[in-house]
Amino acid sequence: ITPGVLKTVIQPGFGPRPNVGDNITVHCTGLLTNPPRKFWSTRDPGQQPFSFRVGVGEVIRGWDEGCLSMQKNEVSRLTVCGQKAYGAQGFPAISIASDVGSSWRGLSFLNRAITIPPNADLQFEIQILAINGM
């Protein structure tokens, strides 16, 4: 896609590709690459699909770039270098103890502590479920 973002199609999609500013809804599983460890999945109990406006900086750059290249219903694995993920700051450990949850740059979670080290390379399996609610 671009330097720092590698896309591997797992299941081809059909239908449109999102445009910058479109609201997309995805299923996603995120993994640290070294050592391999899942840190988040919308498919886990208590989670739900994640929605965001693509291409406008609401999520990490690797997601914006990768999702803009995908079609609706496509499932792809995005390998994202640390610079296009959470960068030198990483993702701070935050514990949320509410039934509402929280969202920050592409991670939504309930009652979990998540830590992504600075400059960590990440892998995401993403499926675009809807574009602008359709």
Segment 61-87 mean pLDDT: 97
The predicted structure's pLDDT at residue 115:
85
Distance CA 82, CA 89 (A): 10
By CB neighbour count within 10 A (0-12 exposed, 13-18 middle, 19+ buried), where does 131 fall? buried
DSSP assignment, residue 113?
B
Give tens-digit pLDDT for 7-61.
999 999 999 999 999 999 999 999 999 889 999 999 999 999 999 999 999 999 9
Give tens-digit pLDDT for 100-110.
444 445 554 44
| Confidence at 113, pLDDT banded by 50, 70, 90 | low
Architecture of domain 5-131: Roll (3.10)
